[in-house]
Amino acid sequence: MKAVKVEHVVQETPDITTIYFPRVDEARPGQYYMVWLPGVDEIPMSLSTIGDPSSVSVRVVGDATRALSQLKKGDKIGLRGPLGNGYTIKGKHPFLVGGGTGIASLTPLAEEMAAKDIKLTFLIGARSRDQLLFNERLSKLLGAGLVVSTDDGSEGFHGYASNYACDILSKGGFDHVYICGPELMAVKIWVDADKLNIPVQASLERLCKCALGLCGSCAIGPYRVCRDGPVFDSVKLREVASDFGKRRMDASSRMIRVDH
């Protein structure tokens, strides 16, 4: 457990906040920290910036995320990690699709790809223009390589990111797909990419308690999202197809439906 002081906080959208802190370890895109707020909770957060400073980006969904989003410069947080496998850079023409806060974990990947002169296309999707995370940061990085969809049509493609992703994929030219976002979006894009025989890496989310690969709370099929993931390739996604986009375990490890 390392304790770090928050360097600064940026309100990205009405409900997404990025918390910057000094780099403590080498990390790869797609890896996560268990972020500890004493007295509140400890939750898994993907890195949304890798480097110094590093960051996590959080959407308010409950007590822990609210407390995280209310942090101020100088506040201390505890970090356990970086954990998980992260993305592996593959392909000459990768296509990245991020939905909502899923944009966070793909952004450092896009930055690393761009630094390696890999010509990528990154589709970011959100409910509306003011919900788009890192629009400006990615637009500066990728220029025309950044495409946008909003559910309400306030910017870019009018409709779900999964539908737009399908259009873009079918036009051809991509040899690898990276997905992070709502699971129903992810599963749809995976199915489309699979039909076109394009390999996929998708970052999945399950309830992580120990994050050490022991407790099993994050199980999906025979895998543990905390240790075997969070990034799953096409082969593993096929193995967990009866769960992916369909069912997950709640806090008591009871199977419930995936509903977003």
φ and ψ at residue 69, rounded to 5 degrees = -70, -15
Can you tell me which of 26, 39, 116, 257 binds other proteins, judged by CB under 8 A?
Answer: 39
Cβ 78 to other proteins shortest distance, Å: 7
> Minimal CA–CA distance to 87: which of 231, 251, 240?
231
The tokens of 96 are what?
A: 């990245």
The answer to whether 197 contacts other proteins (rule: CB under 8 A) is no
Rounded to whole angstroms, the maximal C-alpha distance in the chain is 51
Alpha helices of the chain — where are they, by DSSP H?
A: 63-69, 102-115, 135-142, 161-170, 183-195, 234-239
**Three-class SS state of 190:** helix
Q: Which stretch binds other proteins (CB under 8 A): 14-22, 40-48, 114-122, 133-141?
A: 40-48
Closer residue to other proteins in complex, CB, 10/255: 255
Can you tell me which of 17, 28, 31, 42 binds other proteins, judged by CB under 8 A?
Answer: 42
Considering only residues 202-231, where is the footprint of other proteins by CB under 8 A? 209-217, 219, 221-222, 224
Closer residue to other proteins in complex, CB, 3/61: 3
Cβ 203 to other proteins shortest distance, Å: 20
The answer to whether 61 contacts other proteins (rule: CB under 8 A) is no
Can you tell me which of 9, 43, 103, 126 binds other proteins, judged by CB under 8 A?
Answer: 43
The answer to whether 53 contacts other proteins (rule: CB under 8 A) is no
Q: What is the DSSP string of 47-90?
A: EEE-SSSEEEEEE--SHHHHHHHT--TT-EEEEEEEES------
Number of neighbouring beta carbons within 10 Å of residue 53: 14
The tokens of 43 are what?
A: 């939750």
The answer to whether 24 contacts other proteins (rule: CB under 8 A) is no
Residue 58 identity (one-letter amino acid)? V
Considering only residues 89-128, where is the footprint of other proteins by CB under 8 A? none
The tokens of 203 are what?
A: 């970052």
The answer to whether 7 contacts other proteins (rule: CB under 8 A) is no
Angle at which helices 135-142 and 102-115 cross, to 10°: 20
Can you tell me which of 115, 252, 257, 259 binds other proteins, judged by CB under 8 A?
Answer: 252
Cβ 3 to other proteins shortest distance, Å: 4
Instruction: Catalog residues that contact other proteins under the rule CB under 8 A.
Output: 1, 3, 34, 36, 38-39, 41-43, 76, 78, 209-217, 219, 221-222, 224, 249-255
